[in-house]
Amino acid sequence: MNRTAFRNVLNNVMLTLTGLCTIITSSVLFLILGYLIYNGWRSLSWDFFTKLPLSAGELGGGMANAILGSGVLILIAAVIGIPVGFLGGIYLAEFGGKTFPMMVRYTADLLNGVPSIVIGIFAWTVVVVKMHHFSSWAGGFALSMMMVPIGLRATEQFLRSVPSSLREGSLALGASKTRTILSVVVPAARQGILTGMILGVARIAGETAPLLFTSFNNQFWAASLNEPTASLPVMIYTHAISPYDDWHRLAWASGLVLLVLVLIANVACRWVLSRGMSVQRG
Amino acid sequence: MATVAATAPPPAQARKLAIWRDGDQIAHLVTLLFAASVFVVTVYLVYQLWIHSGPSRAKFGFGFLTGRTWDPVAENFGALPFIYGTVLTSVLALVISVPLGVGAAIFLSELAPPKLSNTCTFLVELLAAVPSVILGLLAIFTLVPIMRQYVEPFLKATLGDLPLFQGPAYGVGYLTAGVILAIMTFPFIISISREALLAVPREQREAALALGATKWESTWQVVVPFARLGIIGSVFLALARALGETMAVTMVIGNDTGIHASLLSPGYTIAAIIANEFTEATGDVYLSSLVELGLVLFAVTMVLNGAAQLLIIATTRKGSRRD
């Protein structure tokens, strides 16, 4: 009897503890978002989006160059990363044999797990050392390296989820394999691939470590893609570790803008994906 | 047979042309090139790290891994303080995030109604999407003061006799870095462990309950062991992520190149010293030492990621087969 009572108490205690773990872990996101809104909202103003950062001690200023810089870096990364991921994914899903696709798949997973700072070193050796200076190109290249594996696996996964009857139907009508892929398979998987790519963009948008010694930083507008450029994540980093209150203010506002953009992209993509899945199952 | 004889096979050249017009070969080739580029670039990455760490490897050999000094002026570099800091902060992170994560995964897979379970998992997975520099920003202004004023004095008052909790409470240091890493890693543990637990066949639970086990006993003694490979895989993945994490750790680690037993003292990690010193490094040996640190980090995370992938594949296969 005593033993049973102990087992029941243990049961209740442990199950309550697991519930507590869930509450703690699920609430962290709200704590982060709430604190960031609390601190960042007051610092957001029109100036934030239109003005350049000022030197230490001067009040005011904005992050206009960092916002543009981040946009340019992401654009470069997308222009390199999306075609590689998309076409490579098509190969894995539609053309691949056995051994080689497995190797590519494994390397893609490997690349996905490479610490971002190591990607930064690689981009530095390949681009910065050769060009002899920091540039948007180097930063964009580093970010594209992080995007390729995500795009590749997303494309492969969603192409594979297209029923083979669609392919066979198209081939039976006399279409070539390429025509089938372009006109039937890819359009059927379009939504999934697109959301996968957007998730990839959302992931690289907040990456800081690969940019530290590739695109570096810049207090002013970057005149060309060959110059070092400011970006939101690096600006958050430099402003957060600075001793100036006014710089902290800008860091909070930048953090809020960046987080809201990343979260919106993630929520939208997951919503679309979950809808797509249920349609397929039904 | 007659028809085959009647239509003579086209000359070889025409057939070749037809194939090319078809475009299939071209498409195959083009997509193959792009897929291969992923492979080539990854190999090239390893090659570049190896080449650029050359001067350091030539000067220090394997002694680099056990050297305890980091002296840019005398060009004498050893990686031990950073390896120590990296391992220590990651282990601290796991000590916090594994119980929390596995506990939450158990609740989400065994107790919570599907709707609540999916919502909580969604929130936790969104947390994984928060950029690490933002976590670092929050850590500097919220976590560090909390650690300095409340947590670290409390630890010193209660466990201060242990060498682990001695020295002044700076707020920055191994422990704070471990806490922030725990927040970054538990989304992986929860998400993957939940999948592994959900893949356990229903009969396993029912059999345990039918034998008179309580809900907790059935979960802890039957379901969790059944899903253990997937859970271990998620821990490996979390560890790999913690070891390679840069920004949030760099902002709270305290930047001290010594080796300290106390968890409260400032330290350094591999990723943090690369982030801090790479752009300032002058001289071949200094720079290549930082690249070699990157190579060490790369090698360790690759081994862990590989092992995690294998474990996760093993469990998901087992689950689906028995289903």
Domains belonging to chain B, first-starting first, are 2-52 (no CATH), 65-322 (1.10.3720.10)
Tally of CB atoms within 10 A around B274: 26
Question: Average per-residue pLDDT in chain B?
Answer: 86
Is there a contact between B131 and A262 (Cβ–Cβ < 8 Å)? yes
**Cα separation, A64 vs A49, whole angstroms:** 5
Domains of chain A: 46-281 (1.10.3720.10)
Q: Which of B38, B246, B255 to mutate to test the interface with A (most CBs of A within 10 A)?
A: B38
B269-298 tens-digit pLDDT? 999 999 999 888 888 888 899 999 999 999
**Cα separation, B306 vs A232, whole angstroms:** 33
Q: What is the largest CA-CA distance in chain B?
A: 98
Contacts of B22 in chain A (CB under 8 A): 176-178
A76-92 tens-digit pLDDT? 999 999 999 999 999 99
Query: What pLDDT score was predicted for residue B20?
Result: 55
Between A282 and A179, name the one with better pLDDT: A179
* A280–chain B nearest CA distance, Å: 19
Span A234-260, average pLDDT = 90
Query: What pLDDT score was predicted for residue A117?
Result: 93
Query: What pLDDT score was predicted for residue B81?
Result: 92
Lowest mean pLDDT across A55-64, A192-201, A248-257, B267-276: A55-64
Residue B21 has pLDDT above 80, yes or no: no
Taking the Cβ of residue B120 and every Cβ of chain A, the question of whether any pair is shorter than 8 Å is answered with yes
Lowest mean pLDDT across A83-87, A193-197, B1-5, B236-240: B1-5
Between A1 and A212, name the one with better pLDDT: A212
Lowest mean pLDDT across A6-10, A33-37, A164-168, B164-168: B164-168
Residue A232 has pLDDT above 70, yes or no: yes
Could you tell me how many CB contacts below 8 A there are between chain A and chain B?
A: 258
Residue A263 has pLDDT above 70, yes or no: yes
Span A254-270, average pLDDT = 91
Q: How far is CA A163 from CA A91, A159, B62, B156, B189, in A?
A: 17, 9, 54, 62, 32
A20-57 tens-digit pLDDT? 999 999 999 999 999 999 988 888 888 888 888 887 77
Partner-chain residue, chosen from B51, B99, B279, that has the shortest CB–CB distance to A212: B279
**Cα separation, A238 vs A250, whole angstroms:** 11
When pLDDT is cut at 50, 70 and 90, the band that residue B43 belongs to is very high
Span B89-93, average pLDDT = 93
DSSP state, residue B109: I
Q: Which of B21, B37, B42 to mutate to test the interface with A (most CBs of A within 10 A)?
A: B42
Quote the pTM value. Answer: 0.88
Residue B235 has pLDDT above 50, yes or no: yes
Lowest mean pLDDT across A14-18, A186-190, A216-220, B36-40: A216-220
* A122–chain B nearest CA distance, Å: 6
Span B300-313, average pLDDT = 84
Residue B127 has pLDDT above 60, yes or no: yes
| Contact criterion met (CB < 8 Å) for A208 and B27 | no
Query: What pLDDT score was predicted for residue B14?
Result: 59
* A50–chain B nearest CA distance, Å: 22
Query: What pLDDT score was predicted for residue A3?
Result: 85
Span A167-180, average pLDDT = 89
Taking the Cβ of residue B249 and every Cβ of chain A, the question of whether any pair is shorter than 8 Å is answered with no
| Contact criterion met (CB < 8 Å) for B278 and A124 | yes
Query: What pLDDT score was predicted for residue A279?
Result: 40
Query: What pLDDT score was predicted for residue B11?
Result: 60
Is there a contact between B162 and B102 (Cβ–Cβ < 8 Å)? no
Span B289-315, average pLDDT = 87
| Contact criterion met (CB < 8 Å) for A17 and B103 | yes
